Amino acid sequence: MTRSVCALALVAGCGTAARTERPAVEKTRVLPVEADGPVEPSGLALLDGELLSVSDEDEVIFRIVVGESSALMEPWLVIEVPDPRPPELDLEGIAVCEGRIFVLSEGANDVMEVDPSGRSRWIGEGARSAAIARGLLGSPGAGLEGIACAERGGLVLASEREPRALLWLALEEPGRVSSQILDLEDVVGRSFSSDFSDLSSEAGRLWALYRYTYEILEVVGEPGSVALIPVAELSSVALDPRHRYSSTRFGMAEGLALDDGYFYVIDDNNDLPRAEAPADSRPLLFVIPRH
């Protein structure tokens, strides 16, 4: 069975069945993110009901406190970056799997496991080696960009683009890695190209975030036969004149998390102001009801 045919079969019941979500995008809350100094949020995860994030070059895990009209992004845990330290850290993702915290560095194209004291260790060499062997991670600025917990243990990582791909890393067997390059035909019912910017998982289900289109997709199937099912598109909200940034050349949607009631999407606005508010360069957090 070809990949495109199998992808369509997955939706019809061949493999893991997709469960359709209809998020109430029109009821999305858009919250400016306050912080003590500039931040560039990249990635979201939930730990005991609290939102966590990382910020490109900061060696810190942040906590995001969601309020009624704004959100507060505050330092939560300082990371002791292990050796060998990359010239640029470029933190791009965070995942919490059964209480264990994992942070993704695009600068190293590697994963750190961070313990509650802030000490950390690199664990993703096998995934990096497997990705390079498949022709991934070869373009500047097109490295590992998203991280989530895998359904049967381990982690799933996203190669951003050129080409887009998913990699499944077994934590207990670091050398065991499965990977799949994803093409336009893997997006069921749509034909568009966009960059992976984050992944998130819940109860055995996996979602991906597309940076430029503010699109949330469910990842359905197993390594080797994956389909991407569009779930929600936030561009109408994110590009509303009240929220749009002064430049949209680079996609802004950088972090994805979810709980029983909501999808959470956060922007990395690259310190750009909003088009209608030149003095306001705060990132934005989108809180989208799942039903």
pLDDT of residue 224: 83
Question: For residue 225, is pLDDT > 60?
Answer: yes
% of residues, the chain, pLDDT over 90: 53
> How many Cβ atoms are within 10 Å of 38's Cβ, its own excluded?
13
Tell me the average pLDDT across 264-277. Answer: 87
pTM across the whole model: 0.90
Tell me the average pLDDT across 151-170. Answer: 88
pLDDT of residue 185: 65
| Residue from 275, 224, 207, 289 nearest 247 by CA | 275
The amino acid that residue 170 corresponds to is A
The tokens describing 190, both together, are 């749509």
Taking a C-beta distance cutoff of 8 angstroms, is the pair 114, 79 a contact? yes
Question: For residue 108, is pLDDT > 80?
Answer: yes
Write the CATH number of the domain with boundaries 3-289.
2.120.10
